[in-house]
Structure 1
Amino acid sequence: MKKFLVEKFKISESEAEIFSASFKKINLNKGDLFIDFGKVSNKIGFVETGLLKCTLIGSKKSFVDDFVFENQFVANYYSFLKQEASNKEIICLKNSVLHVITRNKLEKLGEKHPFVAEIARQVSEQLFLSTAKKLEDI
């Protein structure tokens, strides 16, 4: 994770250590839910190994919204930001190792370390661009 952070966000090794140390490593099995439909999402994960599927659940239809691979962040970012019930579920398609940080811990870390706000901005921009591209493709 540290190597990814240094390369992707152009931060120092010590900043990557501070950021990554705030995450908790978890193991999930194939079929385990990372984000539950209908619950507020208060966490963001970084996929070390594994594969996850994001399914948008509507009143009449459900469809696969995205797949999340190794070295990617995963969350229902809308639910995370708005603090509203998740309209999707995120499930492991194979055994996965994730590094997870809670919203509260991320906010506190950002208050202490300005570089965290820059990482959050870049992740937000990437999520926006990804969503815009999906809409354009539709």
Structure 2
Amino acid sequence: PEDVDYRSHRGLDRGLFLKLVAGDWIAARDNLVICGPTGVGKSWLACALGHKACRDDRSVLYQRVPKLFASLALARGDGRYARILAKLGSVQLLILDDWGLEPLDAHARHDLLEILEERYGRRSTIVTSQLPIAAWHEVIGEPTIQ
């Protein structure tokens, strides 16, 4: 996080980011969404916060959402599903990168609900997305989960 370039035109608030770097939001079990267009450094910022959390002796796991859902689909068949979900639920900071690149199928919706339900109020999660939050309902595709 020490290498963040605040001169870049991406709308990053230096004071807010420095507050996030301190990590109090992780101790409070809060969550963070980083949205913006391609190329502004969402993934880099999320990883910088994750790296700082590691240096602060917190457990961190980074997952690209498309690959995560594909891995969970395979894990259903080979017996690793419960173990992967337990790992996703146990880390102090989970970084879900590239959320919303494609609509979720029924299994991915279920997986997302399980992951977030297990973490809510217990652990912190960072979600990065190119999509504005208002468009997330279309990606989820199920009104009862929204």
TM-score, with normalisation over the residues of structure 2?
Answer: 0.25
* TM-score normalised over the length of structure 1: 0.26
Q: Which has the higher strand share?
A: 1
